[in-house]
Amino acid sequence: MIELLGKKKMHFSLIDPDKQLPKEAGRIAKICEEYGSDAIMVGGSTVPDRETSYKTIEEIKKNSKLPVIIFPNSADTIAPNADYIFFMDVLNSPDMEYKRQQHMKGAKLVKKWGIKPIPMGYMVISTSKKPTTVETKLKLDVIRENDIEKAVDYAIYAECMGMCCVYLDAGSNPDKPVPDEMIMAVRKEIEIPIIVGGGIRNGIEAKKKIDAGADVIVTGSLIEKNIERLKEIIEAIKSASSS
C-alpha cells in the first residue's frame, strides 16, 4: 500500500495550474495546509504543458509542506518536482491513449525523476445535464448516477488488477456529486481506498461521502471560487473519521 493512502480519512486539495498564476497557486496551497488538507493535487483537463505544472508546483512547495501529487491529463504535464503521481487508468474510457499510450510515454519520466507512482483506477461519473470539462476531453463508456452496477464492476476490476485506489469523479462544477448509493455499493465490494471528488460544496455533503465509504474527499473548483468553505469541509471529514 502506498504510504499516503489508507491510514485515515483524508482531504486532498486540487489546484489546476491552468486556472491561476503560480504565485496565486502557492498562496492557495498555504491556506489549504492551514485549514488541514492532507495533500495538494496538481492537474486538470486543460493544463497545457510541463513548464506550467513545474512552475505551479515550485510555488506550492515554497508555501506548503504538504505532499504534491500530479493529477495528469497527459505525459506532457508530468513535472520532476512532484512527490507523487496518480498513475491512472481511465477505467470507463475505451481509448487506449488513456489506458496505455500516455502511461508508456510517462513511465520513463516518473522513474527517472523518482516520483512515486500511485496506480489508480479512475472513473468519470456523469451527474450533469451538460458535460463537464473532463467529459468533453475523453471518449467514455458513460457511467450515469444510476449505473451503480457498472461502477462496481469497474472498481472490482481495478482492485483485481492491483491498483492502489479507485477515484470516482463527477468532474468540475457538476450538477450533483457522486451519489452516496454508488459509493456504498463500491465500498461493499472492494477493500482499497476510494477517492471521491466533484460537486462536494459543504461539510454536510463531505460527511455523507465519508459515511458512505469514501476514504479521501477531493475539493477543486470550490477552492477557486470560495476557499473559505474549505475549512468547513475538512472539519467535517476529520470529525466523521474520529467518530
Tracing cell 486532498 back to the chain, one arrives at 12
For residue 32 the three cell numbers come to 489549504
**Positive or negative torsion for Cα 39, 45, 51, 52:** negative
Per DSSP, what are the bridge partners of residue 40? 13, 68
The low-confidence residues of the chain, meaning pLDDT below 70, are 1-3, 6-7, 241-243
Pairing of strands 10-15, 39-43: parallel
CB atoms within 10 A of CB 24: 14
Task: Supply the pLDDT for residue 1.
Answer: 40
For residue 54 the three cell numbers come to 513545474
Task: Supply the pLDDT for residue 243.
Answer: 58
- Delineate the domains of the chain, giving CATH numbers in brackets: 10-242 (3.20.20.390)
Provide DSSP, 114-158: TPEEEEEEEEEEE-SSSPPHHHHHS----EETT-HHHHHHHHHHH
163: helix, strand or coil: coil
List pLDDT tens digits, range 45-82: 889 999 999 999 999 999 999 999 999 999 999 999 99
Task: Supply the pLDDT for residue 6.
Answer: 65
70: helix, strand or coil: strand
Q: What are the residues whose beta carbons fall under 8 Å from the beta carbon of 39, sequence distance 6 or more?
A: 4, 10, 12, 13, 66, 67, 68, 69, 84
Task: Supply the pLDDT for residue 25.
Answer: 97
> Counting Cβ atoms within 10 Å, is residue 204 exposed (0-12), middle (13-18) or buried (19+)?
exposed
